[in-house]
Amino acid sequence: MLAGQWQDTRRRQSRWNHMHEIEMLRQHIKQLENELRFHGEPYPDGLVAFPGVLQGQGFFPGGDGLWRECPADASSGRFPLGGIMVLGNDFGCLSNSDPRSPGFVQCLDRGFEDPPTWEIKETLRRAGLPGDRCFFTNAYLGLRTAIKTTGASPGVTNSEFQKTCREFFEHQLVMQRPSLIVCLGHEPRKFVAPLLTKKHVWSRDKISFPNLDQKCEPIVIGRISIGGDLISPMMVVVAHPSYAWSTHAQSPRSFAGEIGAAAEDALLATAWQQAQQH
C-alpha cells in the first residue's frame, strides 16, 4: 500500500472509531428536539437547532468535541471513554458576521471553530492533561438567535429547557463515563451543582473564585444515580479561557501554594491524578 493510501485508511479508521458514540449522542438530541416541548418548537424563544455539523475542531454538539492539534483537521481520535469531560456553557450564536466572534453559520462555512474558548488546550497542556482523553462539550443545547454569546443561556430560566438539558447531560455521562469533569467558568459550575448537594457552595449564583476556594474543597466528587448505576466523577471549575487573564488579575485562584494561572494548572494536574486513582 502506498504511503498516501495508508494515511487515508488510518484517517478513515480514526474517524470510524468515535463515529458510533458521537452519532448516538446526536440521535438523542434529535429525539429531544422532535418532541417539540416548547409550544410546538424544538427550543424555547431565543434558541434554535444547529443547521449542520463542523468537520474540524468544535465543541459538541456543533462539532464532535474531540481533540485536534490543528483546528482545520477533519480527522480525530477515539471517543474518550472514562476520560475527561471539558464542559462549556453553550456553543454560542447562530450567526454573527464579526470575525472576532463568528457565529455557527460562519464557522460552518470555514469547517471548524477556534474562538478564545479553545485556549483551554494550552491550559491542559501546561497541566499535563492528555488532550486525546478529553471530550469538549456544553451544558446547554441549541444556538442563540441573538449575537450575545456570554452569560447564561437564553433558556436558562425555562424549567422545561433545564430539564431537557439535564436529561441530555445524564445521557452524555452514561456514554462517556468521565473520571474528571472540568467546568469552564461559573455557568457550567452552577449547571453541575445538583450532582453535589442542594446546599453546596457550587450552586451559588454569584461567588468569586477566591471565595469559592475558601468555602469548599477545590476538587469535589459528583454522585449521580442513573438507572441504578452510580457515576461519581471528580469535578473542578477553572476560569473561562476567554476571560482567564482578567480573572487571574482581579480574582486570582490559590492552590498548592500557587496563585492565578499557576494555581489552576496545579489544580488540574492534581485533579487528574486523583481521578485516575478514584
The CATH number given to whatever domain includes residue 89 is 3.40.470.10
Q: How far apart are CA 82 and CA 134, in angstroms?
A: 9
Residue 246 has what pLDDT? 87
At position 97, the amino acid (one-letter code) is S
Sequence-separated (6 or more) residues with CB below 8 Å from residue 110: 102
Check residue 40 and report its DSSP letter. Answer: T
The secondary structure element, H or E, covering residue 71 is none
Q: How far apart are CA 151 and CA 135, in angstroms?
A: 22
What is the domain count for the chain? 1
- How confident is the prediction along the chain (278 residues), in pLDDT tens digits per residue? 444 443 443 344 444 455 689 999 999 999 999 999 999 999 999 999 999 999 999 999 999 999 999 999 998 888 999 999 999 999 999 999 988 889 999 999 999 999 999 999 999 999 999 999 999 999 999 999 999 888 899 999 999 999 999 999 999 999 999 999 999 999 999 999 999 887 899 999 989 999 998 999 999 999 888 878 889 999 999 999 998 888 888 888 999 999 999 999 999 999 999 999 97
Its domain, for residue 126, covers 3-69+78-277
pTM score, two decimals?
0.91
Residue 172 has what pLDDT? 95
